[in-house]
Amino acid sequence: MTLPVILAVDEDAAAIERITKELQRYARDYRVGCGRSTEAALEQLETMRDQREPVAVVLAARGTHGLKGEELLARVNDLHPHAKRGLLIEFGGWGDEDTADAIRHAMARGHIDYYVLKPWADPDELFHRTISEFLHEWRRATTLGRREITIVADTWSRRGYELRNERDANGFVVTGADFETSLQGAFAIGDVRAGSVKRVASAVGEGSVVIQQVHRHLEASHAPAARG
């Protein structure tokens, strides 16, 4: 049986050495791969996709040249939809405006699941808490079995009926890129949406985007009909 992969990328030699050391905790159950090149990591991920190798977690630092870490993580969703994606930042990285903007931008667009503080202690239990959460969420998403969500609607509601039946194989509500369901004017965000990153901060980001869609829909539905 092929072990699921945990992949980490950071061009900083000292940082990737620490990350590699910390990730050995998971080496019994996962295949750990670490490197300094995002381009090489992308090639590996494409090969794993072609060979149907499971990828559980991908971590990437932003980097200073070539393919940015957040750009690599944005590509992961197409290659390995269930893989958890973390943007590696230094402790206190939120204090850097450019880094903070990159995190907000990536989370709002669903390109990452969360940011991950690079390990700085030995062992770094804060780092391991985040990795363990990622692995738990990945297992829940990939383990075979019945999953369940609740649609709150009147028993005979047409909208409720259509929403209950427009789900993916895991029971999540299917939406388009604008978060609209198959029923015009009905939107889904957060944990119930297929392809969401199942994080509170991501749900907030999706909510800020979808509220604009709701306003547009309401304006269109109340607009006077055009006369011929």
Together in a domain, 53 and 130: yes
Q: Is the pLDDT of residue 198 over 60?
A: no
Together in a domain, 125 and 167: no
Choose between 188 and 195: higher pLDDT: 188
Residue 228, domain member (yes or no)? no
Together in a domain, 132 and 79: yes
Tokens of 17: 């050495």
Q: pLDDT at position 228, please?
A: 46
Residue 147, domain member (yes or no)? no
Q: pLDDT at position 167, please?
A: 66
Together in a domain, 18 and 108: yes
Separation between Cα atoms, residue 201 and residue 107, nearest integer Å: 7
Choose between 123 and 226: higher pLDDT: 123
Range of the domain at 87: 5-142
Segment 86-91 shows an average pLDDT of: 94
Q: In what order do the strands lie in the sheet with 84-89?
A: 31-35, 5-9, 55-61, 84-89, 114-117
Please report which confidence band the pLDDT of residue 143 belongs to, taking 50, 70 and 90 as the band edges.
Answer: confident
Q: What is the CATH number of the domain that holds 200?
A: 3.50.50.60
Segment 137-155 shows an average pLDDT of: 71
Structural domains of the chain, count: 2
Choose between 104 and 167: higher pLDDT: 104
Give residue 167's identity as a one-letter amino acid code. Answer: R
Segment 183-198 shows an average pLDDT of: 69
Q: pLDDT at position 206, please?
A: 66
Together in a domain, 15 and 113: yes
Please report which confidence band the pLDDT of residue 153 belongs to, taking 50, 70 and 90 as the band edges.
Answer: confident
Among 57-61, 66-70, 81-85, 92-96, whose mean pLDDT is lowest?
A: 92-96
Residue 60, domain member (yes or no)? yes
Tokens of 122: 């030995």
Q: Is the pLDDT of residue 213 over 90?
A: no
Residue linked to tokens 């939809």: 81
Q: pLDDT at position 56, please?
A: 96
Together in a domain, 117 and 168: no
